[in-house]
Chain A
Amino acid sequence: MVERSEEVKLLGMWASPFSRRVEIALTLKGVPYEFSEQDITNKSPLLLQSNPVHKMIPVLLHNGKPISESLVILEYIDDTWQNNPILPQDPYDRAIARFWARFLDEQVYVTAMKVVGKVGEEKDAAVEATRDLLKLLEKELVGKDFLGGESLGFVDIVATLVAFWLMRTEEVVGVKVVPVEMFPEIHRWVKNLLDVDVIKKCIPPEDEHLDYIRARMESLKLKSV
């Protein structure tokens, strides 16, 4: 192995599923990194300088060079550290993996956020809409241990936003968005995930996370009133 000084720093936020997914990828590949907790309500000069376009976490700094947008970062990590590949090799399988990742971020996450942020009828509608989207994920899991197949892959890492963030949100909002009767495969998959060391290591601690989601929900509700 070639020895070289590699500086890997992650500007992240402990409760963010987008930040955690980067940590999962780095940990899976055994890449040592420095985590720098960012205050997103009072953005640091380093964050603003590293991601001037979006001013958001996560940002990966590799030897000082910034990479932004979590899905771009995941692919960068896979391209740079080639052990324990995250994306499949075959171009078609890669296209499918990328499709599901975008679906999770652009559809599932966006819709699920409304469950947290809305009240009454709008919240109920958001729950229904989230379930409709999750039914597609449920279908994908039939006959598979992970979304990536036999082992954890790109889509699983992205989908941890469902496994941990969304399912924890249920406790806080008091609605079973993902009931086991409707989503047996998803529940089975979450159990598989929790058995993986890297995942256990990289998800936010439950109690603090629940408190955080609770606080976030309150502040979103105040905004929408």
Chain B
Amino acid sequence: MADEVILLDYWPSMFGMRTRVALEEKNIKFDYREQDLFNKSPILLEMNPVHKKIPVLIHNGKPVCESLIQVEYIDETWPGGNPFLPSDPYQRAQAKFWGDFIDKKVYGPTRLIWGAKGEEQEAGTKEFIEMLKMLESELGDKTYFGGETFGYVDIAMIGFYCWFDVLEKCGNFSIEAECPKLIAWAKRCMKRESVAKSLPDSNKITKFVPELKKKIGIE
């Protein structure tokens, strides 16, 4: 029986990118459906009634919500190829910890950087750099966060890379100057077909952010 896989997504979302990358890594054919978040579709509201957010992965009609939960679901459902999570329980726990860290600590400051001004924006920038440095320290000299193989934490973080350009411009700082190892890691990831296919060009994001601000009513 052929699997039917649908992804409800929004092209600039670094969360949606995680699921795209995960599906591509496993060579799963999926129907990508762009959503208008300012005019939410019936299918989005039906499949994610609790949060009404993207991404939503619909596998044979059944929805899975929350990007990291989707990544793990994809890994467990299609176990072929390189597993995203290590088999050792302690290593798995570390990977999940860092995925959670990215959600809780890295995303929030980015909204302040492109969405706020003055002191708020500065505070966001400062915190973002601090969080990136923690991640960089965790990465160390490894090829990927998990070691030699591309995995869960790499997938959790890589979507932010295409936002770096606009964040640097808004916050007036250089991520490469602050975290060169992280940039080197990102460039390695970008060489992977799954990543190159799933991330939009940085300049598309940079052009898009002023439009987004207008749409949500920020100056």
Residues of A within 8 A of B (CB): 53, 62, 65, 67-69, 71-73, 75-76, 79-80, 91-92, 94-96, 98-99, 102-103, 136
Q: Are A62 and B90 in contact (CB under 8 A)?
A: yes
Q: A65-B90, A75-B93, A76-B92 are in contact. Are A94 and B100 (CB under 8 A)?
A: no
Q: Are B92 and A95 in contact (CB under 8 A)?
A: no
Q: Are A91 and B77 in contact (CB under 8 A)?
A: yes
CB B135 to nearest CB in A, in angstroms, measures 10
Q: Are A75 and B90 in contact (CB under 8 A)?
A: no
Question: Residues of A contacting B50 with CB < 8 Å?
Answer: 103, 136
Q: Are B76 and A91 in contact (CB under 8 A)?
A: yes
Question: Residues of A contacting B73 with CB < 8 Å?
Answer: 91-92, 94-95
- Please report which residues of chain B, range 47-96, place their CB below 8 angstroms from some CB of chain A when the two chains form the complex: 50, 59, 62, 64-66, 69-70, 72-73, 76-77, 89-90, 92-94, 96
Q: Are B96 and A75 in contact (CB under 8 A)?
A: yes
Q: Is the interface of B mostly helix, strand, loop or mixed?
A: helix
Instruction: For the complex, give the distance between the alpha carbons of A95 and B62 in Å.
Output: 11
Q: Are B101 and A53 in contact (CB under 8 A)?
A: yes
Question: Residues of A contacting B59 with CB < 8 Å?
Answer: 92
Chain A CB count within 10 A is highest, among B77, B89, B134, for B89
Residues of B within 8 A of A (CB): 50, 59, 62, 64-66, 69-70, 72-73, 76-77, 89-90, 92-94, 96-97, 100-101, 134
Question: Residues of A contacting B100 with CB < 8 Å?
Answer: 69, 71-72
Instruction: For the complex, give the distance between the alpha carbons of A98 and B75 in Å.
Output: 15
Question: Residues of B contacting A68 with CB < 8 Å?
Answer: 97
Cβ contacts A to B, 21 pairs, < 8 Å = A53-B101, A53-B134, A67-B90, A67-B93, A71-B100, A72-B96, A75-B92, A79-B89, A91-B73, A91-B76, A91-B77, A92-B62, A94-B73, A94-B76, A95-B69, A95-B70, A98-B66, A98-B72, A99-B64, A102-B69, A136-B50
Q: A94-B76, A95-B69, A102-B69 are in contact. Are A69 and B97 (CB under 8 A)?
A: yes
Question: Residues of B contacting A72 with CB < 8 Å?
Answer: 93, 96-97, 100
